[in-house]
Structure 1
Amino acid sequence: MTAFEDLMAFERTTQALASVAGRTGWDQETVMPEGAAALRSEEMAAMEAVLHARRTDGRIGEWLEKAEAPDEAGEAALRHLKRSFARNTKVPERLATDIARQTSAGQGIWAKARAENDFASFAPTLTRMIELKREEAACLANGGDLYDALLEDYEPGMTGAELQSLFDRMRPRLVDLRRRVLEADAPAPLDREFDEAGQMALSSKLAQVFGYDLTRGRIDKAVHPFSSGSGTDVRITTRTAPRDPFNCFYSTIHEVGHACYEQGIRDDYALTPLGAGVSMGVHESQSRIYENQLGRSRAFTGWLYGQMRDQFGDFGVADEDGFYKVVNRVGSGYIRTEADEVHYNLHVMLRFDLERQLIAGQLEVADLEDAWNARFEADFGIAVDKPANGVLQDVHWSFGLFGYFPTYSLGNVYAGCLYQTLRDAVPALDSDLARGDTSGATTWLRDNLQQFGGLREPSDTIEHACGFAPFEGPLLDYLETKFTALYEV
């Protein structure tokens, strides 16, 4: 065998083991007994030790020096492996396993603290996680910016300074649009209860309408919805709220966007560095375009209105136009995952600023809740009423996912570019969506983006699909066109 073949055979086993670890994480979030948390944290630490040893094996460096790629996919695989090997060899095994152990234990502590609205009980766990992530970042940064070193795991090539510049360009138009929309009359929210079984039944139908293959996936419930896995085993979760069925439906559509990206990658990329989404920003572009530009469009909500009447009977909304307005109701809510499109990126900007300060040591955990509450009131005009609606609402920091939050807004920016191109490429889009047929859009996304997995760098992935480099203009134009018309401002 050649050095390239040896390297790819070794990587295939590593990828398979990583898949097992991912499935263990899924189990923890969905069906694991609460009393198993301590054991699970040790299991996850042990698995991370095995994976870290493989990812830092000296033979990888030798193979990389000798390997010659046979084609474009091989060149991309070597690029990914060189990057990951360089990063992994900088992090000691002890630190990698400590982070894995803390991550597993932290999720359960966060969930309990959130349920009890008790930030103080979570603060020591978060403090320890931040200490570990700062240490990891210092290993990776080579004297550079610590936050940038962590961001590289989620959006390779992106920096905090570039994100700050992007957000500075976006904020004025978003704030102005928010002001104008909130000055107009908003439709009343739904005002009745929707049974859980009915929500889950329609949720399953929506997943399949958007192309989720349930022979290679499943839908479960979790405190915080997520997607897990790749290839032939891609699982999603959703959640229900008795008085807010949109929470369930749009969480499902969002996670299906992630899942369809993974299911759409070429089969021959499985268990290779190309066999997963190239970055979280590109991943979020799929979940956000499924959820928002497609799922919240006037055409699709017209179809969804009929489905909801079939499932729940008369639920107090007179017609399709009224339903479209209710689905896209704008308000200064607390929860990021439930935020309307006008407010969503402002939620992300808040988290981006706070987590950069945490990693830089400019903000300590003891001051985090007050900092969050002050920033939220300044940005959204309402005071946080309880920690579950504020600093405890997201699971990410308990998992050590510092650098992840800004990829949500990057995903929105990428989705804006993709949607602009998609509308030109699929002229019958609205008429298709009005029949509940998403195949024109989802096929275009699979053919032009999803199938390629990690073949290209993140920005190049979007440019290949759109024909131009990604920028914020299409997203902001889409938001202004949609909401000025909907609210007549």
Structure 2
Amino acid sequence: MSAYSDLMAFVRETEALKQIQGRLGWDQETVMPSGAAAQRAEEMAALDKVIHARCVAPQLADWLEAADAEDAVAESQLYQIRRAYDRAMKVPVELSAEITRVTSLSQGIWAEARADDDFSAFSDSFEEVLNLQRQQASALAGSDGDLYDALLEDYEPGATGDSFAAMFDEMRPRLVALRESVLSSGRESPALEGHFDETAQLALSEACARAFGYDFSHGRIDKAVHPFSSGSGLDSRITTRTDPSDPFGCLYSTIHEVGHSRYEQSVSRDYLLTPIGRGVSMGVHESQSRFYENQLGRSRAFTGWLFGQCREAFGDIGVSSEGEFYAAVNNVRTGFIRTEADEVHYNLHILLRFDLERALIAGDLEVRDLEAAWNERFEADFGLAVDRPSNGVLQDVHWPVGLFGYFPTYSLGNLYAGCLFEAMRLEVPNWENALARGDATPATEWLRTRLQCHGARRGPRETIEHAVAGQISAEPFLAYLEEKFSGLYAL
């Protein structure tokens, strides 16, 4: 056995344990009894200690020093292992386990506070989460590093707070101008009306998942408070949610999460349970989910098919034509909820969260002032006064579970998706015809072969540049939005 073979055998076992930990998290958010939360937190912390010990095992350094990369795949594996080892060595095992324990508990506390619309019921728990995240950031950043940048590395390697700020500075003026043009156009989009049975919603969400190629032999759909995807390789699961007054939340949450899960299902099986056997970053991951949800799922071609499916599932839905349905799906309106936001408003929701979480980690904003800061910023940006915490600071699960640095990757994913869509349209001429029949295969197969199958072989930007055979910029995404909504609102 070579040093590289020994190293990979050890790492595969560690990756398997991480999958088990992820499965415990999935169970907690879907079917775990509510009274089991305290015990689950201890179970998660215990497993985290085992995983962390393996991530900093002394033999890893010896193997990494002795291992030779015989090809490009091995070189990528070694890069990812070294990177993970270096980061794990900076975080004390007890801190890592405590973060896992506290965020496991915090998630349940947040869910109850959200249901009760009571931020004060969550603030003490969130204070604990934030303090632990600051400690982790400090350990990762060292004496002269930026705390927020240190956390960003977990989600988008190579990105910084300043690089994200520059991206938002570039995008914001045209997004705001487009929003103002749409809202002042005088056009009113139709809206769905009726009661939408939950069973029918879930059945239709499954049909949408199948239309986008989701492999149910290696996945499943369940319900959760906040939709998410979990797992990779041969077991990649998703969740969705339902609202009897609005089926779009269920259908488009499903399509979004299918985008994440199809990425994981499509990575080459040769990389199973290895560091490159998963998505390379959250920005690239979000490019897949946003591409599935928006460029494909909200296209005129797909909504034409979905209109017929909704009429069949629900009967009279308040709109009578494919054109009206397309307009309803893409209705631009100012609203509180990020996950329900139209494409024009969405990135403005992300910018708010990015600025607030950056201030929280830096210590410029404290938990006791967060709700007021959120409400003030939201009213300034959107012109609406937040009416309750579940429509404001309590709407997202990310901060309760310690995901600081995740939010800006949604907007980066939108930017990447714009580049991918521009390239795909040039190379796949029949994508709309197939999508109009409820078959996303031409588009999703292009994504699979150009991007998804490669997993983390390359860095995030290199992954997108390889897929589009060109450079990355915000222009394709902004042009896509302007073209689409200028047509919808006769601008």
TM-score by length of 2: 0.99
> What stretches of structure 1 of length at least 5 have no aligned partner?
none
Give the whole-Å Cα distance in 2 for the aligned partners of 1:432 and 1:216.
Answer: 24
Aligned twin of 2:14: 14
Which structure 1 residue ranges, 4+ long, deviate > 6 Å from structure 2? Answer: none
Q: Which residue of 395, 419, 422 corresponds with 2:424?
A: 422
- 8 Å CA contact retained: 2:191, 2:319: no
Partner AA of 1:163 in structure 2: F
Superposed CA offset, 1:172-221 (max 9, x none): 00000000101122213222110001000000010011000001100000
Partner AA of 2:151 in structure 1: L
Give the whole-Å Cα distance in 2 for the aligned partners of 1:322 and 1:187.
Answer: 8
Aligned twin of 1:107: 107
Give the whole-Å Cα distance in 1 for the aligned partners of 2:439 and 2:426.
Answer: 17
- 8 Å CA contact retained: 1:199, 1:249: yes
- 8 Å CA contact retained: 2:190, 2:324: no
1:370 aligns with 2:369: no
- 8 Å CA contact retained: 1:278, 1:454: yes
Give the whole-Å Cα distance in 2 for the aligned partners of 1:168 and 1:237.
Answer: 33
Give the whole-Å Cα distance in 2 for the aligned partners of 1:278 and 1:341.
Answer: 24
Q: Which residue of 386, 389, 398 corresponds with 1:387?
A: 389
Cα deviation, residue 351, structure 1: 0.2
- 8 Å CA contact retained: 1:460, 1:469: no
Give the whole-Å Cα distance in 1 for the aligned partners of 2:26 and 2:439.
Answer: 30
SS in 1 for 2:217: coil
Aligned twin of 2:225: 223
Partner AA of 2:60 in structure 1: I
Give the whole-Å Cα distance in 1 for the aligned partners of 2:195 and 2:422.
Answer: 37
Superposed CA offset, 1:278-315 (max 9, x none): 00000000000000000000011001101111111121
Aligned twin of 1:165: 166
- 8 Å CA contact retained: 1:194, 1:312: yes
Superposed CA offset, 1:366-406 (max 9, x none): 00000000110111111100000000000000110000000
SS in 2 for 1:228: strand
Give the whole-Å Cα distance in 2 for the aligned partners of 1:446 and 1:266.
Answer: 10
Aligned twin of 2:404: 402
Superposed CA offset, 1:130-161 (max 9, x none): 11011101111122100000000000000000
Aligned twin of 1:465: 467
Counterparts of 1:192-341 in structure 2, within 5 Å, are: 192-341=194-343
Aligned CA-pair RMSD: 0.6
1:120 aligns with 2:117: no
SS in 2 for 1:237: strand
SS in 2 for 1:396: coil
Aligned twin of 2:33: 33
Give the whole-Å Cα distance in 1 for the aligned partners of 2:81 and 2:38.
Answer: 33
Give the whole-Å Cα distance in 2 for the aligned partners of 1:161 and 1:186.
Answer: 38
Aligned twin of 1:87: 87
- 8 Å CA contact retained: 2:191, 2:318: no
- Compare 130-139 and 183-192 and name the one that shifted more: 183-192
Cα deviation, residue 437, structure 1: 1.4
Q: How many residues align?
A: 489
Superposed CA offset, 1:418-461 (max 9, x none): 00000001111111111111100000000000000000000000
TM-score by length of 1: 0.99
Partner AA of 1:16 in structure 2: A
Counterparts of 1:133-152 in structure 2, within 5 Å, are: 133-142=133-142, 143-152=144-153
Give the whole-Å Cα distance in 2 for the aligned partners of 1:452 and 1:373.
Answer: 42
Give the whole-Å Cα distance in 1 for the aligned partners of 2:385 and 2:474.
Answer: 30
SS in 1 for 2:244: coil
Superposed CA offset, 1:230-260 (max 9, x none): 0110100000001110000000000000010
SS in 2 for 1:371: helix
Aligned twin of 1:73: 73
- 8 Å CA contact retained: 2:354, 2:408: yes
Aligned twin of 1:55: 55
- 8 Å CA contact retained: 1:138, 1:146: yes
SS in 2 for 1:229: strand
> What stretches of structure 2 of length at least 5 have no aligned partner?
none
- 8 Å CA contact retained: 2:114, 2:394: yes
- 8 Å CA contact retained: 1:186, 1:330: no
SS in 1 for 2:387: coil
Give the whole-Å Cα distance in 2 for the aligned partners of 1:469 and 1:426.
Answer: 19
Aligned twin of 1:441: 443
- 8 Å CA contact retained: 1:264, 1:450: yes
- 8 Å CA contact retained: 2:190, 2:327: no
